[in-house]
Structure 1
Amino acid sequence: MPSTPLPLIGNDLVINEDSCNLSCTYCLTGQSNLKEGHSLKLIFDPPKRDDYSPTTDLGRRINTVAGRLHGRFDLPLLKVTGGEIFLVRGVMDFLEEQSAQYEVLVVQTNGVLVNDEQLARLRSFGNVVLQISLDSHLYQGNSYRVQSESLHTKVVRTIARILESGLPVEIYGVLNDRSVTELSEFAGWLSGFENQPTFFPFPVRGPDSETFKVRPDQIGHIEELVRRYDEFAGILPPRPYFDRLLSFYHEGRRTFRCHLPRLVVSTFSDGVVTPCPNIWFSDMGNVLSDEAETVLDKLGSSGLYQALLAPKPRLSACHGCFTPWDTLSMYFEDEITLDELCAAPTYAPPRIRGMIERAKADYLAGADV
């Protein structure tokens, strides 16, 4: 069991996860059973606008959620995601307020609603990393995310502007039976930008993934990208990332250990806490309730962590999971070095680097097994 408190480095704060301006066919929120709204697939309803200020209902809630996690664990990293957070009027004020409290503020978005003024403001914060969801620069490969070629053209045009903004950008590309055929072409397109992003391709996940997953006869497209690694090295994560990725496909499931829950927790704008940012399958309680301290005490001490941090994945949901967060686990398993891990701007600040290094040392010493 991990010790308490956990050596957390980050909070993955999910705002209004049921409200998005795209309706990705494979959307994980639409497959999650964590909340009743997820099982009802409200994510596919017309998106709902919301308002942030310190006095709105949403503002009070997310300030409290972020503040209680930061206060308990002195976190250096906050990731803000949705839904689509730029549907929230005033969200830039929240991001600016939070950026001042963390070494790194990660903002995940599909990019469609991000304008030049917002990009300039985000750049002025000095510690923002943008994570952009895009499966391909070509319509066919991105067609599970957008349902028309005209919308796809708008999406790509907007993301190109983001890539030219000077902000550190990570591209999160979901590998499915459509996008995988364009993988090397997509890498080539991303390589053409002066401000090169880091491109993380990772498998489609969730209970419905069988419908969309890369077929065995398509794995060769991933192998082609690996053969051309040197050509695209400027935009790709460390080479061992692809060893894990190909292992996932050749084995048909995840067989390697995950350390993510000892380092990052996921919270929601309604106060719900779940121990894994990748898969929302356990409601550990609500940090907006009077029992907030009790809920936070559970992090690292509940029996679920034994399964999540086991040497081999135990839970069926974990068997189907591999994401860009895996670079943290790869460092813990000596598959990449600390320098390779912290070449990413998300983990580059000295305090974050030091916390990760100490967490691994404690784990190896037997304090966290």
Structure 2
Amino acid sequence: MKHLLYHDLIVAGNWCNLKCSYCTSVADADDYGAVTSASRRGRGATIAIAEVLAMLDGFAAQVDAPLIKLSGGELFLLANAAELIAELAQRYAHVQVLTNGTELDAATVQRIARRGNVSFNLSLDGHSAAMNAMRWRSPRIGARVMAAFAAMVQACETVEITSVISAANAEGFPAFLDVLAAQPCRIVAVPIPVRGVTAAVLFPAEARRAFAATLRACVRTHPDVLGPAAYYTTLADFLDAGGAQRERRCHLVTAAVQLFDTGAVTPCPVGWTGAIGDLRKEGAASVAARVGTHKMYDLLTRERPRVPVCRNCFSAADMLNLYLDGEIELDALARLPLYHSAAARARLVELREAAVSRLTASIVSQLGSSEISSRSASAGGSASPMAMPARAAT
């Protein structure tokens, strides 16, 4: 049995009702199978829930994870999305549902929130039409999203907001945090910079550096609507450097895996690379055997990312990276709904210990155990070869 932190399940990934200027996911989803579990693409379409669960349960028997992220396309275009969420909530300690909010009404939000172990992650780039210009241009759509947001903050204990930062909304981000701070529930705002081939056009280097300064100020002025401070300061450092070349190692593929309802499995839930298998065609045991061992895992975990899609990537998953690097404390990370459960905390500790072991083995391999012993002795103690934390944990 292999142990991960979460499964990331995409249902009908090629069907969304928005055409965000910076999005490549919907177009790329067909690369992992065009025939999804959706009965069709149109109002009233449904998910083949039994098929999805059979595929997922078979995989989970081989690759265990206490948490699951669920998204589309836009999940709530499918009439029985809430039923799928209910089934997943019985199988996982926590279910995080990613949505653009356009298809959610207050009754559905309340029904889902009442489950207790389900949380929403709403894609929202700001509090004004101008800040969301890369997401929608229709006032009607904007009104529906803001109505869903209003329902969430009334029904939920905590709501995560993911904002893709570009030149359109960077300047207004502090004002957006003011709006979030005034809501009746706890909000965690998670900015992520636009990435991909259009990143340099949509978020030029000068605007990135200006937003880096803004972020550092927000850590001081708006801590109540932010997650662990190290995430925002590390993002600021990345943006200061132009955001064109990631230098930090990414651990995400050691903690999560992407599953498509088409059967495709990819190592990374953020930067989609080649599939490592197909659950529908090959079966769970065959595909699960490649999790952690396929050649892509070595490429995706290099000290300096080698895979093109990784080079300008910085995402919410970097909170997990920073925890595994010792720069965020467990209690701080566990304030986020996804990581709050006892099962999540236990698996996080397990993964951190594994990360420490990998780093130690890497250092031993590079320097040789005799040199480490010599350095330790000359330092007057048996210092661990660990280099964590690089900065004070927050």
* Offset at residue 17 of structure 1 (A): 0.8
The one of 40, 53, 67 aligned to 2:57: 67
> CA contact under 8 A between 2:299 and 2:306: conserved in structure 1?
yes
Q: Distance in 1 between the 2:32 and 2:91 partners?
A: 33
Give the Å deviation of 1:220.
2.0
Please state how far the C-alpha of 1:59 moved relative to its aligned partner.
2.2
Matched, 1:177 2:167: yes
Q: Does structure 1 retain, via aligned residues, the 8 Å contact 2:32–2:275?
A: no
Task: Give the alignment of 1:232-243 within 5 angstroms.
Answer: 232-243=222-233
Matches within 5 A, 1:11-160: 11-30=7-26, 32=28, 35=31, 50-52=45-47, 58-160=48-150
- Contact 1:254/1:321 (<8 A) preserved: yes
CA distance in 2, matches of 1:113, 1:221: 31
How many residue pairs align between the two structures? 353
TM-score, normalized by length of structure 1? Answer: 0.90
Aligned 8 A contact 1:175 1:202 in 2: yes
Q: CA shift at 1:291, angstroms?
A: 3.9
TM-aligned CA deviation for residue 61 of structure 1: 3.1
* Cα distance in structure 1, aligned partners of 2:42 and 2:195: 23
Aligned twin of 2:349? 357
**Unaligned segments of structure 2, at least 5 residues:** 35-40, 363-394
Does residue 264 (structure 1) correspond to residue 275 (structure 2)? The answer is no
Q: How many angstroms apart in 2 are the aligned matches of 1:37 and 1:96?
A: 25
Q: Which amino acid aligns with 2:317?
A: W
Corresponding residue of 2:286: 294
Task: Call closer, same or farther: CA 1:284–1:144 in 2, change over 3 Å.
Answer: same
Aligned to 1:196: 186
Q: Is the 8 A contact 2:253 2:267 kept in 1?
A: yes
Aligned to 2:3: 7
Rounded to whole Å, the distance in 1 between the matches of 2:214 and 2:18 is 30
Query: Does the 8 Å CA contact 2:2/2:64 hold for their aligned counterparts?
Result: no
Distance 1:222 1:164 in 2: 32
In 2, Cα distance between equivalents of 1:112 and 1:171? 15
Q: Call closer, same or farther: CA 1:264–1:37 in 2, change over 3 Å.
A: closer
In the aligned structure 2, how far is the partner of 1:329 from the partner of 1:210?
24
**2:247·2:303 contact (CA, 8 Å) conserved in 1?**
no
Q: TM-score, normalised by structure 2?
A: 0.84
Alpha-carbon offset, residue 198 of structure 1: 0.3
Q: CA deviation at 1:227?
A: 1.5
Contact 2:14-2:27 at 8 Å conserved across structures: no
- Aligned mates of 2:249, 2:122 — CA distance in 1: 26
- Measure, in 2, the Cα distance between the counterparts of 1:37 and 1:8: 24
Amino-acid identity (%)? 26
RMSD: 2.1
Which whole-Å deviations, capped at 9, do the CAs of 1:151-187 have from their partners, x for residues lacking one? Answer: 3233223212222222421000001110112111111
Aligned-partner Cα distance in 1 for 2:80–2:30: 28
Secondary structure of the structure 2 residue equivalent to 1:108: strand
Distance 1:36 1:98 in 2: 22
For the residues of structure 2 that align with 1:65 and 1:212, how far apart are their CA atoms?
A: 38
2:151 alignment partner in structure 1: 161
Which of 325, 335, 339 is the equivalent residue of 2:327?
335
Question: Relative CO higher for 1 or 2, CA cutoff 8 Å, sep ≥ 6?
Answer: 1
Structure 1 residues 72 and 12, CA, compared in 2 at 3 Å: closer, same or farther? same
Aligned residue type for 1:15: V
Q: Which residue of 2 aligns with 1:316?
A: 308
Amino acid at match of 1:268: F
- Give the 3 Å change call, closer, same or farther, for CA 261–320 of structure 1 in structure 2: same
Letter aligned with residue 164 of structure 2: V
Look up the SS of the partner of 1:83 in the other structure.
coil
Counterpart secondary structure, 2:131? helix
**CA separation in 1, counterparts of 2:2 and 2:247?**
24
Mapped to 2, the partners of 1:169 and 1:105 lie a distance apart of: 13
Residues 260-291 of structure 1: CA distance to partner in whole angstroms, max 9, x if unpaired? 10001000011100000001121111111244
Which position in structure 2 is the counterpart of 1:41?
Answer: none
Please give the secondary structure, in 2, of the residue aligned with 1:11: strand
> How much has 1:34 moved relative to structure 2?
6.7
- Measured after TM superposition, the shift of residue 114 of structure 1 is 1.1
**Counterpart of 2:68 in structure 1: which amino acid?**
L
Q: Distance in 2 between matches of 1:330 and 1:213?
A: 24
Q: Is the 8 A contact 1:20 1:82 kept in 2?
A: yes
Contact 1:19 1:47 in 2 (8 A): no
Select 1:216's aligned residue among 202, 206, 210. Answer: 206
Secondary structure of 1:142's partner? Answer: coil
Give the counterpart letter for 1:135 in structure 2. D
How far the C-alpha of 1:33 sits from its partner, in A, is 7.6
Give the residue type in structure 1 aligned to 2:209.
I
Query: Larger Rg: 1 or 2?
Result: 2
CA contact (8 A) 1:109 1:133 kept: yes
Q: Which amino acid aligns with 2:346?
A: G
Aligned to 2:368: none
Structure 1: which 5+ runs fail to align?
Answer: 39-45, 53-57
Output the CA distance in 2 between the equivalents of 1:271 and 1:217: 40
**Partner Cα separation in structure 1 for residue 354 and residue 141 of structure 2:** 49
Corresponding letter in the other structure for 2:25: T
